[in-house]
Structure formats: C-alpha cells, structure tokens
Amino acid sequence: MDTSGSNGEDPISKCVVQLMKRYYLPVFYTIIFIVALVGNVTSIAIYLTKLRPWKSSSIIMVNLALTDLLYVLSMPFLVHYYSIGESWLLSNFMCRYIRFSFHFHLYGSILFLTCLAVFRFAVVLKPLIAAQVEKRFWGILACSAVWVIVAAQTVPMLWLISSEESQNKTVCMDFASTKCIDQLYWYSWLLTTVGFLLPLVVVFLCYIGIRKQLAEGPYESTPSRVRARRVTVLILVVFVVCFLPYHTLRVLRIHTRRQNTPASVHNIVDAAYIISRPLAGLNTVSNLALYTLSGDKFRRAFRNTFHWARCLDKARSLLGIAPTNTGGTDMPDV
C-alpha cells in the first residue's frame, strides 16, 4: 500500500517537487536529447560508412550507440508530458511503451558498457588471445546476449506501468510511482541488483585487473596502454556518476512510499530522485567520448568526415608542430 504523505502534507516541499517536474526535467531532457541525438547519429554513420569491416569491439560500439539513440528518442514524449503539468495525451499503450523503452535501453547501455570493459580486460591480460577476441563472432554473441538479458529484465514493467486518471487528467506514472507498491519494491531490488550492481562489480574488477596489469607490465606509457586505462576509467565514472545515484535514490523513493514516511521526508527523497533521473540519461552523452578514446581509426574518420584533419594539419604546420604519430601501438584497439 502506498502510504506516502500519510503524516500530513508539507506544501513547500511538495511545491518544489512539482516545479522540478515542470521545469527541471524538461530542460535537462531536452539538452540530453539534442546532444545525444546528434552525437549518436553521427557515430553510427561513421561506423557504417568509414570503419568497415567491423571487429567485435566495433559491433559492441554500434549497438551501444543504437541503444543510446533509441533511449533518447523516448525523451521528447517525456519533455512534453512534464512541461504541460504531467498530463498524458496519448494512449495507455504509448505510456507503457515509452516508460518501458526508457528503461529497456538504459539497462542495455549498462550491459554494453560492461561488455566493453570485459573485452578490454581480456585483451590486456591475455594479449595472445587478442586476435580471437577481435573476431566478429564474439561481438555478435555478446550483443545478442545483452538484448535477450535486457528484455528478460524489463518485460515485467509492461504490467507494472500504466496511465491513470488523477485530478481530472490522465497521468503516465513513472516506474517508481506505480501503484503496485509491494510487487514494485521486490522487482526494483531485483532489477537494481542484477541490472546494475552486478555489472558495476564486473566493471570494477576489470578496472582493477587492467590497472594492475598495466602497472606491472612493460611499456606502461605507450599510447594503447594509456588508452586502455582511460577507457576503463571512463566506463567506471559513468557507472558511479550516472547510474549509481539513480538506482540508489529510486530504491529509496520506493522504500519511502512503502513505509509510513513523513510527507517532508517523502518529498525530499522524491526531489533527489528527480535530480538523479537526467543523470542516468547523461550516460548517452558521456558514452560519446568512448568512441574517440577506444581507437585512433574513429578519431581519424570523424575528423575526415568534417574536414578537420586538413585544418589541423595546416595549424600544426603554421605552429611548427610535428604531426601526431598514431601508429605503432603495442595493443589492438578493442
């Protein structure tokens, strides 16, 4: 039973929550939508036209960009919904689909990032199997497994989420606000554990293993080894900054709804949860850095696409700077 606000209303904190939904969420969702849409469409186009044939890492990158693109495509619906005061004008099916799509592609992004960390870990620790890991078969296998796992994780949302009539308007409840509080509580814990905490542990272990191996091995400062550290650090930062606050506050939000929590505490938790939601979507922007950090080929293709390479070469020649040598790495781009 949803008992939120049962100990009296707190009009000030409730007003803050309403204002954050009306202005904060639409503004940040719009910014994320524009940047991530342009960035991920560009990245997919470069992979499709400039970087064939694909290795396993390229296949994972394309799937990551695709799931990020599909993720942000649900945002315009949410921007409109919150900007007009949480009034859902579409069908109940569309409410379920938009909320489901939002979470389906969020957890897809988490697992694709985990796959990148695992593949990087395998190549750094076992250089002799690098050629095997780079084969397309492993990329296709990993991506197929991710789509199946994510579908199994998020399908229950289709039954939990729905639109409802409230105060003479139709509202499309977000995942943490649905009415089935007991089922929601246990499902949220299961989804947080399997969909986020387990991948976080895997990424952290990969980071520790890569850092230890690169510190002990020769040629620690070579470009490929520096890139390996940067990629794993970036993935770990995305998990901690984007995903950890969202999952922590979502669990806390559901917990306060389930307990007899004072209205002021309930609204404070709700406000913090609202702040964390765009942070989770921010991964679609930070993931763009992975494409440039993961290999020199993407950077060159990106510069050539926008004719930046020629401008950079002219600038270097004017300044008397030697061209950057991107060859001779001791480790494959994975």
Confidence bin at 328 (pLDDT 50/70/90): very low
Q: How far apart are CA 316 and CA 309, in angstroms?
A: 11
Q: How far apart are CA 85 and CA 101, in angstroms?
A: 22
| Higher per-residue pLDDT: 110 or 230 | 110
Asked if residues 188 and 154 have their Cβ atoms less than 8 Å apart, the reply is: no
Q: How far apart are CA 180 and CA 187, in angstroms?
A: 11
pLDDT at position 229 over 80: no
Asked if residues 286 and 242 have their Cβ atoms less than 8 Å apart, the reply is: yes
Contacts of 6 (CB under 8 A, 6+ apart): 260, 261, 263
Cβ count near 78 (within 10 Å)? 21
Confidence bin at 1 (pLDDT 50/70/90): very low
AA identity, residue 76: P
Question: How would you classify residue 83: left for phi > 0, otherwise alpha for psi between -120 and 50, otherwise beta?
Answer: alpha
Would you call 217 exposed, middle or buried from its count of C-beta atoms within 10 A (0-12, 13-18, 19+)?
middle
- pLDDT for residue 221: 58
Task: Tell me the per-residue pLDDT of 57-99, one tens digit each, with 9 for 90 and over.
Answer: 889 989 999 999 999 999 999 999 999 999 999 999 999 999 9
Q: What CATH class has 11-309?
A: mainly alpha
**Per mean pLDDT, which range of 87-91, 176-180, 189-193 is the poorest?**
176-180
Task: Tell me the per-residue pLDDT of 269-313, one tens digit each, with 9 for 90 and over.
Answer: 999 999 999 999 999 998 888 877 766 576 677 667 665 545 555
Element (H, E) at 98: helix 92-125
Of the ranges 88-92, 143-147, 266-270, the best mean pLDDT one:
143-147
Q: Which tokens go with 37?
A: 């849409």
pTM across the whole model: 0.85
Asked if residues 113 and 238 have their Cβ atoms less than 8 Å apart, the reply is: yes
- pLDDT for residue 302: 66
Phi first, then psi, for residue 321 (nearest 5°) are: -100, 135
* Sign of the alpha-carbon dihedral angle for 265, 266, 267, 273: positive
Cβ count near 143 (within 10 Å)? 22
Asked if residues 256 and 266 have their Cβ atoms less than 8 Å apart, the reply is: yes
